[in-house]
Amino acid sequence: MISRRALLGALSAVGASAAVRPAASASAKVLRVGCQKGEAIVLAAQQNHALEQRLGPLGVQVQWSEFEYGPPLLEAMRVGSIDIGGVGDTPPIFAQAARGNLRYVASLPSGASAILLPPGSGLRTLKDLRGKRIAFARGSSAHNLTIVALEKAGIPYSDVQAIYLAPADAAAAFERGNVDAWTIWDPYYAIYETRSGVRVLEKSSNITPQFSYFMAHRDFVQANPAIIAATVEEWGRVGAWAAAHRPEVAKLVSAATGVPEPALLTALQRNPLKVLPMSDENARSQQGEADRFYRLGIIPLEIDVRKEIWRINA
């Protein structure tokens, strides 16, 4: 397994131009980071103290909290328990609809997701999902992926049985045969797609483009833009390194999470591992998703995504 020292040395080599630039606006003493299981860039940074190395000269300590998936992470952010974290495309929409005081601070092209079928399933196409029990986490990226898949198949959302389950609970229901399909992201997708009899009904790449986002609490962003900028930049450096060293990152994340290394390597091989500034494309994609959830009555009010976007150089 690659050591912390080796990764930090590599990051220093590829990121010398991104040296710490202390600024007067870096006033916070602690940055509280939320992370999800299998989230390669954030976990690599955590395991190798990349943020601590970057923010230490600013007088900032880093505290970490782990979450199973995006909605609980953003709920913790909404109530002020964490300052920043990465999630899929849908949790920010639900958080904004709940009047969460959050900002989009960076984007990531998402890794892979899929709609999986349990052993013995007779389903063959998306059209076969009509009337079926589909498991996914409410307010997660899998929620939107399911809806778009149904739209492509000409199936109203009301014509399926949405089974709202967190990933661990959905996995258990899937294994027991209590659901007809499961919409899920990597690394769960990579873990289960090789199980005997499990089939992929459709991949996310054939359904709709997906993004992930780094979100931060609005008050923290406003008070500490230099810390947010340095954090996003550091994650970008870690991502660039990880993209060139996927087997090493798979070992690192496997050791930290217990997720099997082969599944993580599969997930990493289909993840761009890029951290990018927020763009107009991101805003359009998120707005279209928000409009879809409002139209279906899943969120209670119309929202304007553009109001929540923060740009580093703005």
| Residue that has been written with the tokens 């990531």 in this structure | 108
C-alpha–C-alpha distance, residues 144 and 235, integer Å: 26
So what's the pLDDT on residue 11? 37
So what's the pLDDT on residue 12? 37
Q: What is the DSSP letter of 128?
A: G
Within a 10 A sphere around the Cβ of 195, how many other Cβ atoms? 13
Residues 266, 249: contact at Cβ < 8 Å? no
C-alpha–C-alpha distance, residues 171 and 177, integer Å: 10
C-alpha–C-alpha distance, residues 175 and 169, integer Å: 10
Please provide the size of the chain in residues. 314
Quote the tokens at residue 98: 């709940």
C-alpha–C-alpha distance, residues 261 and 22, integer Å: 38
* Average pLDDT over the chain, rounded to an integer: 90
Quote the tokens at residue 246: 């996927």
| Residue that has been written with the tokens 């959302």 in this structure | 157
**Sign for the pseudo-dihedral over CA of 71, 293, 220, 17:** positive
| DSSP bridge partners of 236 | none
Q: For 135-152, what is each residue's pLDDT tens digit? A: 999 999 999 999 999 999
Starting at the edge strand that comes first in sequence, how are the strands of the sheet with 181-185 ordered?
161-164, 133-136, 181-185, 113-117, 199-203
**Domains of the chain and any CATH numbers:** 4-15+24-111+211-308 (3.40.190.10), 113-206 (3.40.190.10)
Within a 10 A sphere around the Cβ of 280, how many other Cβ atoms? 9
Helices (H) and strands (E) in the chain, counts: 13, 10
pLDDT lower than 70: segments of the chain: 1-27, 314
Quote the tokens at residue 120: 């013995």
